[in-house]
Structure 1
């Protein structure tokens, strides 16, 4: 998650947490099968949980974890694994349903009461989940907050936790098989999903983020989430950032790539 977790004790702790999460889920799945052999527990759910943890391992362990601190492209690869792909796999594993299957009736009632309480109902609304998972990206990447987060180990750790929790929340609201206190119909959920996709479409005409180097001297490479890989040498003199004025290769204002 942060520089201290890319080697030594941090790597060991990360592996330990992932192994414990896998073991706890497998233990619960086995218990669910024993308590009700006729219903059992879908092996596809187990595969989803294992795949989600494997994606987190790729994101949080070397070699990707160290690269996320030195290369913005590495950071974005880590971001997509933690905030998009791993949450979807984990949510499809239906961990809440599994928990309800293995608990006693009294504890099931307590968990159900928590799931329908206001502190859970509010963030479980699709609009709130969308704002937490996608709306916060603007505040992170277009303000000095990103530099502050990656400059401090605790800040980077909290940023990764935010990506994972908000990603799981949005996947749970939109496509989760677990019971939810607030879940609109499919058409409404498709609208929220479309808004999330539109917010992450790459747009090479975003202005440079405050505090970054002069984009006129950087290679701008659109990434799937709507940001750019900065810090790479210019590879083509015919394309300059649109805020840099005239492009030497095209002779036009805006610096669009040839053929666009």
Structure 2
């Protein structure tokens, strides 16, 4: 695959800034935990661990050796996709950042956040069908059109694609497993159906990539990337399925019969 030198060579100038931003994301979360612990019962340590690990996964897909190699190696790019669009969103959703924010903010700010969660734009974006379309549909557009080649020729487009991959992955995950307050909830059956269709769309796309390399990608790299997307993607989805089924099981159990 041919890499655009401008993005590859000069993009590293932003790495220190991005590293600081990712570090701030971790620091702010930990600071919120400290404040929350002073007011309420202790915030679960595993949620902080999920947040730190999720942030590291997202950062490694954007800055560092893997991100630099992704400009030249489609397999490395696919590893980045799995980290940024699948693993990081699951970990960050499990960290329940909205719940932590509501515990940390003052009453007025918490009310504004709660009002935002109930707003119609967020209701549309957080709908399982919308979130699935943004997530899987966006990937189909990326890999079956000339967008993949174009993003390596334009730094702004490159950043926007990565932003979309992460946000779409987060919205999809959050719409499947409600770890934070969700004013507009859907049944487990409905979410399971949408998830199954989404999983099929992801698997079909991985096979399409295997047979039809994206713009600028060699056949060998497309085959390796497609297989990685298929098998690793399914493994990650199994984890999400387990979480969804566990929460579904808990919801159908009599109260008090199953500990958290």
The alignment's TM-score, normalised by the length of structure 2, stands at 0.78
Cα distance, 1:41 vs structure 2: 0.8
The aligned residue for residue 46 of structure 1 is 48
Q: CA RMSD in A?
A: 2.4
The aligned residue for residue 247 of structure 2 is none
Q: Following superposition of structure 1 onto structure 2, how do residues 70-81 of structure 1 map, counting pairs within 5 Å? A: 70-81=72-83
Identify which range, 119-128 or 107-116, moves more after superposition: 107-116
| Alignment pair present for 1:61 and 2:63 | yes
Preserved contact between residue 142 and residue 210 of structure 1 (Cα < 8 Å): yes
| Alignment pair present for 1:220 and 2:223 | yes
Q: Following superposition of structure 1 onto structure 2, how do residues 23-172 of structure 1 map, counting pairs within 5 Å? A: 23-36=27-40, 39-172=41-174
Cα distance, 1:220 vs structure 2: 3.3
**CA offsets per residue over residues 40-89 of structure 1, 9 Å max, x none?**
21111101101101112322222101111001111111111000000110
Cα distance, 1:219 vs structure 2: 7.3
The alignment partner of 1:198 has SS state of helix
Cα distance, 1:208 vs structure 2: 2.7
The aligned residue for residue 3 of structure 2 is none
In 1, Cα distance between equivalents of 2:173 and 2:18? 23
In 1, Cα distance between equivalents of 2:209 and 2:78? 19
Instruction: Specify every segment of 5 or more residues in structure 2 that has no aligned partner in the other structure, as ranges.
Output: 1-6, 231-260
The aligned residue for residue 8 of structure 2 is 3
In 1, Cα distance between equivalents of 2:170 and 2:215? 31
Preserved contact between residue 141 and residue 147 of structure 2 (Cα < 8 Å): yes
**Cα separation, partners in 2 of 1:166 and 1:211, compared to 1, 3 Å:** closer
Bigger relative CO (Cα 8 Å, ≥ 6 apart)? 2
Cα distance, 1:115 vs structure 2: 0.7
Instruction: Specify every segment of 5 or more residues in structure 1 that has no aligned partner in the other structure, as ranges.
Output: 227-260
**CA offsets per residue over residues 225-258 of structure 1, 9 Å max, x none?**
36xxxxxxxxxxxxxxxxxxxxxxxxxxxxxxxx
The aligned residue for residue 178 of structure 2 is 176
Q: Say which one has the larger Rg.
A: 1
The alignment's TM-score, normalised by the length of structure 1, stands at 0.78
Which of 22, 25, 28 is the aligned partner of 2:26? 22
Per residue, is there more helix in 1 or in 2? Answer: 2
In 2, Cα distance between equivalents of 1:208 and 1:223? 13
- Between the two proteins, the alignment pairs up a number of residues equal to 222
Cα distance, 1:15 vs structure 2: 1.0
Cα distance, 1:102 vs structure 2: 1.0
